[in-house]
Amino acid sequence: MKKKLGIYAGSFLPFTVGHLNILQKAERILGKGNILVAIGCNPAKTSITDNSGRAKELSEKIGCEVIAYTTFLHEIILQKEEEGYDVVLIRGLRNGEDLAYEDNQLKFIREFLPENYYLNTIFLMSDEEYKHISSSAVRQLESFRQGSASQYVV
């Protein structure tokens, strides 16, 4: 029987307390040590393509395996399947708008996977106190005053 591996992927620019809330929920479902946080490069958000330093720093902060990738997400999923894992994709949601966005993204991911591949996906809602926190909002706050959003960043 294959070991379950949750892949929690995003640009995480920055990794917020809302992201941590979702990660902790995923760990309660799949077990601590069974979640891989995957930092991808989103050209719409940043020109940073080498996230390996961010991955190492984040791994130390959250006590979880973190990788950086520049491929399509489906390639990471298939790579982990080839390594013998039963992959579960973890997607975090704050509201209905996030659900619509994530549903659309999931359709693209599925179109790149082999025809008969079934992608297990878990959508996790953030707790109420984190619903307003997004990386975009944190970046915007920081652009006005350095350090003004520090309470939202892990």
pLDDT given for residue 3 in this prediction: 95
According to the CATH classification, is domain 3-152 in 3.40.50.620?
Answer: yes
CA atoms within 13 A on the CB side of 125: 6
State percent of the chain over pLDDT 90.
89
- Could you tell me the end-to-end alpha-carbon distance of the chain, in angstroms, rounded to an integer? 35
pLDDT given for residue 49 in this prediction: 61
Q: What are phi and psi of 126, to 5 degrees?
A: -70, 155
pLDDT tens column, 41-64:
866 665 556 778 899 999 999 999
pTM: 0.93
pLDDT given for residue 92 in this prediction: 98
pLDDT tens column, 6-53:
999 999 999 999 999 999 999 999 999 999 999 998 666 655 567 788
Residue 76: Cβ within 10 Å count: 19
- List, edge to edge, every strand of the sheet that includes 65-69: 65-69, 35-40, 3-10, 85-93, 120-125
Q: What are phi and psi of 69, to 5 degrees?
A: -140, 150
Cβ(66)–Cβ(37) under 8 Å? yes
Q: Show the tokens assigned to 114.
A: 């082999």
Give the C-alpha separation, 33 to 151, whole Å: 26
